Structure 1
Amino acid sequence: MRVVSCLVTEHNPWLVLLAVFVCIAGSWVTFRLFRQAEARGGWPRAGWIFLAAQAAGSSIWCTHFIAVIAYEHDAPVTFDPTFTMISLLVAVAGCAYGFWLSLSFRFPLAAEIGGGVVGIAISAMHYSGMLAYRVDGLIEWNTDYVLASIALSVLFGAIAMRQAAKPLWGETKYVPVGFFVLAVASLHFTGMTAISVTPFSTATDNTASSTLAAFAVVGVGMLVLGAGVISYLIDEQTSQEAFDRLQKLALTDSLTGLPNRASAIEHLDRALEQAHYTAAKVAIIGIDLDRFKEINDLRGHQAGDTALATIGFRLGHLLQDSEFAARIGGDEFMCVKRFVDRHQLDNFLTRLEEAFSQPLRIGNVDFAAGASLGVALYPDDGHDRQVLISNADLAMYRAKSDITRAVCFYEPQMDKAAREHHALASDLSHALELGQLELHYQVQKSAQSGDVLGYEALLRWSHPSRGPISPAVFIPIAEETGLILAIGEWVLRTACRDAGKLGKPHKIAVNLSPVQFVHNDLAGLIRDILVETALSPSRLELEITESTFIADKARALHVLRQIKALGVKISIDDFGVGYSSFDTLRSFPFDKIKLDGSFTREMERNAQAMAIVRSVLALGQSLGIPVLAEGVETAAQLQILRVEGCHEAQGYYLGRPGPKENILPTAADQLQKVIPNRGTGLSVSTA
């Protein structure tokens, strides 16, 4: 009650309020600067600690002298300038040391001890400031109140710094400010209660001059605090600018200048949220360039980067309101369009098609890139962001596989096809170990004499619930998942083992997938299998398609030469379709050309097919490479091939594929069977 009485009856209330305002403002600035120090290290932390200590010391000092001026009695008062300045330095230095201890974390209770040091600094400032207090009278001190004031200051100072460095009551910036104000105010007013003044003489009324002095002190304090505030604001602005730059870099694709995947996800979430509360729809468009790999392979990665940058420029300049485009990785892009009328979406898709259909100028060459677009609509095709992106991808893959359409909208049947695809991939991964895979063989014969020359190994999959599955279905899945490496090795080993058991030294033909050429040592694997099965290399014939050369022609040719060096025969399969070119035949000395069966089946009724058959046979003859015609299904076809000079033939007419027990002759088979050639006069003998 003595403290309250002193505050109410012996102080000017307006100056007391001014002192409290200065204390609160200074404390707020102090802890904003303290946060900056906390977030830094090394010399930057020391700089921010000094600024925080300067703000704290000046606010304590200003609060003290305004409150002292507010203390009313009849004796004249003056201030000693030396002790006045010493009290300010004591406050700044003590707070700096206390703040440094609070942030050091070098020992337990570092924050509390640092806060205690700050409390002692507040006390030292007050009582050194009281030494500057010159009054024409007798001053008496009450020791109990002095000790109580110091204890309160240390206690509240410790709590304030603990809350600032290691929060006790959650992350709030106001709690440490409040306790710091209590530390200063409790010290000062309890300390002022400890004194009593007996005047020696009566002073004239000096209220005006005291008030003027108080405001002068406030002005000085505000200048110091203002410097701290300006430093804080400059740092905050600089930090915000740096953050904005880093955020832009983090959300932008550096190559194309378009937003990246993270930014696309963020934008899509906002668009879906807005559409949820309106009548608008949202289209998610997945885009994949069609011939980007070809540009990379033929012109190099720098050309690929140029192509992507060009696409990014075009996309960025065609966008209108409610339209968004981003590069989400590699040669994949994603667009988002909010629309109400369907024609708005159609117009956007038309502009996208035009942008991708324009040639890409790289150096002195124009490339027709093209792109496949898959569209999923919210809310028609899903409500969840991930579901919509997945559906757009499914539609994009459908567009990629359909050469007649560049844009494909999602349809529910696509989900069923995708699920079936994944289920087959999962089942295929266990098919080999469960014994569901087996080899069938189809005979290859001389078109002229009908003699058996060899057999082609054909992979078959008997699914336990789906039954036989076509190689055209499961081979692409095996290549896509990488299972073709293990399956291809099994096929090669099994075919060589079966060939070793033949009664005659016929050749065995095995297809190689382009994916198998990624094997680190394909030639070494083949050599090991030949040694293991004791099969002569000359009896093994490997069939490859020209797609093997597309990814890396130099590597493919190197691997083929290694295989050829083993003595293994190599034939080019499905010649006449796909990527067939004379350059491939010129680049590598193949042992055989396999004419695709589509031409054999059509040559009787299609003049163009007949012309291609004759051209390939003439090409083989001029290069000295035998030609095998696939797809022979009738006697007339075989007769035409014989007349045109074809070397070998294969097809249902000569023999359907079947299990080895039904097709491959063994050493135990001694009888020769002569199979009439269905009225052509040509006999085909087989063991």
Structure 2
Amino acid sequence: MSVAACIAYQHNIWLVFIAGLICSVGSWTTIKLFNRSLSAKGAQKMSWHVLTATAAGTTIWCTHFIAILGYDPGVPYGFDPVLTVVSLLVAFFGSALGFVVASDRNSTTAALVGGGIVGLGISVMHYSGILAYRVNGIVSWDVTYLVTSICLAVAFSALAAFIVVRGRLRNRALVGAGLLAFAILSLHFTGMTALRIAPLDIDNAATNPEAARTLALAVACVALMVVAAGFASYFIDGSTRAESVERLREAATHDGLTGLPNRSGFNERLDRELLAADAVGARVAFIAIDLDRFKEINDRRGHAAGDEVLKILGRRMMGVLRGGEVIGRMGGDEFAAFRRVESDEMLQAFLRRIETVLSKPMTLDDGEVVAGGSIGVAFYPDDATTRTTLASNADLAMYRAKGDVSRSICFYEPSMDDFVRTRRKLAAELREALEKGQLDLHYQVQTSVLTGEIRGYEALVRWRHPVRGLVPPSDFIPIAEESGLILPIGEWVLRTACATAATWSPPYKIAVNLSPIQFGTAGLPDLIRRTLRETGLDAERLELELTESTIFVDRERSLHMLREIKRLGVSIALDDFGTGYSSLDILRSFPFDKIKLDRSFMREVEDSPTARAIIRAILALGSSLKIPVLAEGIETDAQLALLRAEGCDEAQGYLLGRPAPLDSIVSGGQITLMPGDPLAQSA
């Protein structure tokens, strides 16, 4: 009650209110700055400590000074300038020391001790300020109130620091600010209650109350500006950090090339959409998108052109989106999209917009390109109840669309799972077939068009499945490439073909196909060298066939690889010529030993003048470059006669001989095996 009476009857209530306002705002700013220092490190941490001490010292000193100016001692008074400045410095350095000690987040004791130091700093500041307070009277103290004021300041400051540093309250900063403000105000007004003044009658001594109030308002304004500066620093830092975090989040969840959500950002949005759909019982369409000709664009025009295509597609995709629709880039040339299915018409409209974007030509520096794309759609929760399964099912539908030239959009069907399971089972059986020797080689003859004499044989792998029977290469070679089995299968074919051909009489050439994956391995030249050495086959009797598309994957590396193989003395044929890129620059850059004209031209040659013109042009090109041309797929006498008339060198096809196992060829008398070979004995 004595403290309350002191405030009510011995103070200007308006200046008390201003002091309380300065104390509250300053304490809140101080705690915010201190809280920021707790998460900072190094020089930044020290900078935040300086700002914290500045805000705290200004708050403590200005609260005290304004309240002192609002105090009416009943006698004239004044201030000692030196001690007044000293009290300000005590407030600053006492706060600085206390908050630095309290900032150890791993120690409860440090928080309490540091807060206590702040409380002692408040106390020393107050009583040094009272010493600067000159009154015309005899000053004495009520020790009980004096000790109580110091205890209040230390206790509540320590509690404030502890709650901010170690507390688990949700609004611990606000609570800490309130406790700090109470520590400052309770110290001041309890301490003023402890003050006793016995007036002295001194002539001509007087105080101007208006001047005191004006000074108090001036100090309040300065205090608010200092506190505002501290708060502005905190606010600017918080805004900057928020912007930085947002930029980092944007970079982490968006693709840097297209600007679309990346896999992480897309999945995050999809998860939210699936939860929202569950809440209202809605359906969500997941759309898997894969570009059809992106690899071709990348290989033929370079990666810069590929990146430009992705950028253009990204802009166009963002431009066709409507509310609730999201498209993201999953990586490479894979995209995905989703939207809630309000109606089939709206979904179809979305799919048409995506299809239009994919099929619209894009202008690059050297012409126009069309990326094209295959689209697969699966529905949540109809086709899947988890995001992973939903995406997997949409991928199945997309791959079905990619394999079906009649449509670019496919919807998931449960039977697609059976198709995938069948392919996985076939891959496992193919691995077993390689281990158990179920693979076999058939040989197709290659003859001279002019004389009909045998020039060589092409080795073709076959799989004799114990249940399915003879599995065609078109069924198991793609599976072998997907599963990685193409490498051991390719090595087996090369080794077996060379070992078998080494026993032939006459010593015909043996042609072996190289898969793109096999050609991409760095150890291929060593494998060929080792195989020739171990089987005893002369290098000039081995002919390796590879397609144009294989070379275009990495042109410079491919040409280097071809030269390495050529140095071994092995012949190299360019297979399926006319169906791929057919770049004359490839023929100029590397001297192929043979060009193999693709069988598709022979199917049309009797009815299509265009096909005949193309064959004539390729044969003329081979003649000019002195590269023999072999035509594949010869099935009629008319086709063979046309090739003979046009001067084709060699031919291969069912008319001349179907692929057959070696024992059939031996029994037919085309080849004799050297004595000692198991096949020769059985023949």
Cα distance in 2, alignment partners of residues 670 and 430 from structure 1: 27
**Which residue identity does 1:391 align to in structure 2?**
N
**Which residue identity does 2:440 align to in structure 1?**
L
- Give the CA deviation at 1:566: 1.8
Deviations 1:407-428 (A, max 9, x none): 3333333333334434544565
1:35 alignment partner in structure 2: 35
**Which residue identity does 2:550 align to in structure 1?**
T
The aligned runs of 1:513-528 (5 Å cut-off) are: 513-528=515-530
Cα distance in 2, alignment partners of residues 220 and 580 from structure 1: 82
Q: Which of 413-422 and 651-660 deviates more?
A: 651-660
1:435 alignment partner in structure 2: 436
1:496 alignment partner in structure 2: 498
SS at match of 1:542: strand
SS at match of 1:369: coil
Contact preservation (8 Å) 1:6, 1:193: yes
- Give the CA deviation at 1:33: 1.9
2:14 is aligned with 1:12: no
2:365 is aligned with 1:369: no
1:349 alignment partner in structure 2: 351
Cα distance in 2, alignment partners of residues 587 and 208 from structure 1: 100
1:98 alignment partner in structure 2: 98
**Which residue identity does 1:91 align to in structure 2?**
A
Q: Residues 583 and 91 of structure 1: is their aligned pair in 2 closer, same or farther, counting only changes over 3 Å?
A: closer
Contact preservation (8 Å) 1:632, 1:654: no
Deviations 1:534-559 (A, max 9, x none): 22112222222333233234433442
Q: Residues 108 and 598 of structure 1: is their aligned pair in 2 closer, same or farther, counting only changes over 3 Å?
A: same
Of all paired residues, the percent bearing the same amino acid is 45
2:675 to 662, 668, 671: 668
2:660 is aligned with 1:657: yes
2:316 alignment partner in structure 1: 314
Contact preservation (8 Å) 1:593, 1:620: no
Cα distance in 1, alignment partners of residues 319 and 610 from structure 2: 48
**Which residue identity does 1:457 align to in structure 2?**
A
Contact preservation (8 Å) 1:373, 1:395: yes
- TM-score w.r.t. the length of structure 2 is 0.80
Cα distance in 2, alignment partners of residues 105 and 279 from structure 1: 47
Cα distance in 2, alignment partners of residues 614 and 70 from structure 1: 109
Contact preservation (8 Å) 2:139, 2:196: yes
Cα distance in 2, alignment partners of residues 134 and 71 from structure 1: 13
2:181 alignment partner in structure 1: 181
2:123 is aligned with 1:123: yes
Q: Which of 16-25 and 414-423 deviates more?
A: 16-25
Deviations 1:280-333 (A, max 9, x none): 644333333332333333333333333333323333333344444444433333
Contact preservation (8 Å) 2:123, 2:187: yes
- Give the CA deviation at 1:526: 0.9
Contact preservation (8 Å) 2:6, 2:192: no
Cα distance in 2, alignment partners of residues 364 and 219 from structure 1: 69
- Give the CA deviation at 1:336: 3.5
SS at match of 1:547: helix
- Give the CA deviation at 1:118: 1.8
Cα distance in 1, alignment partners of residues 171 and 661 from structure 2: 77
SS at match of 1:11: helix
2:459 to 447, 457, 465: 457
Cα distance in 1, alignment partners of residues 607 and 380 from structure 2: 50
Cα distance in 2, alignment partners of residues 400 and 167 from structure 1: 60
2:114 is aligned with 1:114: yes
Over aligned residue pairs, what C-alpha RMSD do you find? Answer: 4.7
- Give the CA deviation at 1:151: 4.9
The aligned runs of 1:287-302 (5 Å cut-off) are: 287-302=289-304
**Which residue identity does 1:121 align to in structure 2?**
G
The aligned runs of 1:127-526 (5 Å cut-off) are: 127-141=127-141, 146=146, 149-167=149-167, 172-185=172-185, 187-188=187-188, 191-192=191-192, 194-198=194-198, 218-278=220-280, 281-425=283-427, 428=430, 432=434, 434-436=435-437, 438-442=439-443, 444=445, 446=447, 454-461=456-463, 469-502=471-504, 505-526=507-528
Contact preservation (8 Å) 2:634, 2:651: no
**Which residue identity does 1:668 align to in structure 2?**
P
Q: Which of 263-272 and 194-203 deviates more?
A: 194-203
- Give the CA deviation at 1:28: 1.0
Contact preservation (8 Å) 1:438, 1:461: yes
Cα distance in 2, alignment partners of residues 234 and 445 from structure 1: 80
Q: Residues 88 and 615 of structure 1: is their aligned pair in 2 closer, same or farther, counting only changes over 3 Å?
A: same
Kindly tell me the number of residue pairs found equivalent between the two proteins.
Answer: 668
Cα distance in 1, alignment partners of residues 169 and 343 from structure 2: 54
- Give the CA deviation at 1:45: 4.2
1:681 alignment partner in structure 2: none
**Which residue identity does 2:2 align to in structure 1?**
C
- Give the CA deviation at 1:91: 0.6
2:552 alignment partner in structure 1: 550
Contact preservation (8 Å) 2:254, 2:262: yes
Long gaps (5+) in structure 1: 674-685
Cα distance in 2, alignment partners of residues 154 and 453 from structure 1: 105
Cα distance in 2, alignment partners of residues 462 and 264 from structure 1: 46
Cα distance in 2, alignment partners of residues 581 and 223 from structure 1: 76
SS at match of 2:172: coil
Long gaps (5+) in structure 2: none
Contact preservation (8 Å) 1:445, 1:454: yes
**Which residue identity does 2:56 align to in structure 1?**
A
SS at match of 2:383: coil
